[in-house]
Amino acid sequence: MAKAKQTFCLEGRFEGFMAGGKSPFKYLSLRSTSDEQHVIKLPKSVRLMLFRYLQTGDWVRVVGEESIDKETGEPKLKAQEVVRVKPLEVVTTPPQSVSSQAKRKPPKILICQKSTCRKRGAAQVCREVEATLASCGLTDAVEVKLTGCMDKCKAGPNMVVMPDKQRYTKVKPGQVSELIAQHFQADDVG
């Protein structure tokens, strides 16, 4: 009798990619918070995005399905979602700010990472967004989230600033600092 697949959620430090078959990015190596190493198979749909997005040492959360290999009896992990996160021990919320955060959604910058936007420079835009947020001291206050298609392929790279839902098309890396300054004044965020 075959065992059913179970859902798993692991958080830890990204150690790098591992090759398999024809892809040099088929597997992700993760050192979990319990100091165990996990090798997780990546679906084709996210391999290229993660290769451009993750750097060795990043904290990530991986959600997926666990099954048992019929030949070896070892657990096999296959990711469904991989998200860069902050380590749990660093994330703290002062009690007085909980009510204000509940009313207002946290700010995010969504950047399309599908093929057309990538060809038009989405990876460079993403790097510039992260560098500008870091130089402004907003790395912890504004989340950068890489997305799938935003249905404006011919106008890529596409970016949306939340919670305003302000959409930007044909974004160039040189425009990023101005857009961030426009949306995220230091006293408005956090």
What is the per-residue pLDDT across 90-127, written as a single tens digit (0 to 9) for each?
444 455 544 444 456 788 999 998 888 889 999 899 89
On whether the CB atoms of residues 109 and 145 are closer than 8 A, the answer is yes
Tell me which of 3.40.718.10, 1.10.645.10, 2.40.50.140, 3.90.1150.10 is the CATH number of domain 6-84. 2.40.50.140
Distance of alpha carbon 45 from alpha carbon 145, whole angstroms: 16
**Which residues, in sequence order, are CB contacts of 67 under 8 Å at separation 6+?**
3, 5, 6, 75, 76, 78
pLDDT tens figures, 66-84? 998 888 888 899 998 888 8
Arithmetic mean of pLDDT, 40-69? 84
| Res. 180 pLDDT band, cuts 50 70 90 | confident
Looking at domain 100-183, its CATH architecture is 3-Layer(aba) Sandwich (3.40)
Residue 159 pLDDT greater than 50, yes or no: yes
- 172 — pLDDT class (breaks 50, 70, 90): very high
Cβ atoms of 102 and 157 within 8 Å: the answer is: no
Query: Mean pLDDT of all residues in the chain?
Result: 82
User: What does the block give as tokens for 13?
Assistant: 């430090």
Is the CB of residue 162 less than 8 Å from the CB of residue 105? yes
The whole-number average pLDDT for the span 133-149 is: 87
Please, are residues 65 and 43 in contact by the beta-carbon 8 Å criterion?
no
Tokens of residue 110, six digits = 């969504």
Q: Calculate what percentage of the chain has a pLDDT beyond 90.
A: 16
Name 135's Cβ contacts closer than 8 Å, sequence gap at least 6.
none
Q: What pLDDT shows up at residue 41?
A: 93
Site of tokens 């995010």: 108
> Per-residue pLDDT for 12 more than 70?
yes
pLDDT of residue 83: 86
Same fold, 6-84 and 100-183: no
Query: What ranges do the domains of the chain cover?
Result: 6-84, 100-183
pLDDT of 87: 58
Full DSSP string of 107-122: PEEEEE-SHHHHHTTH
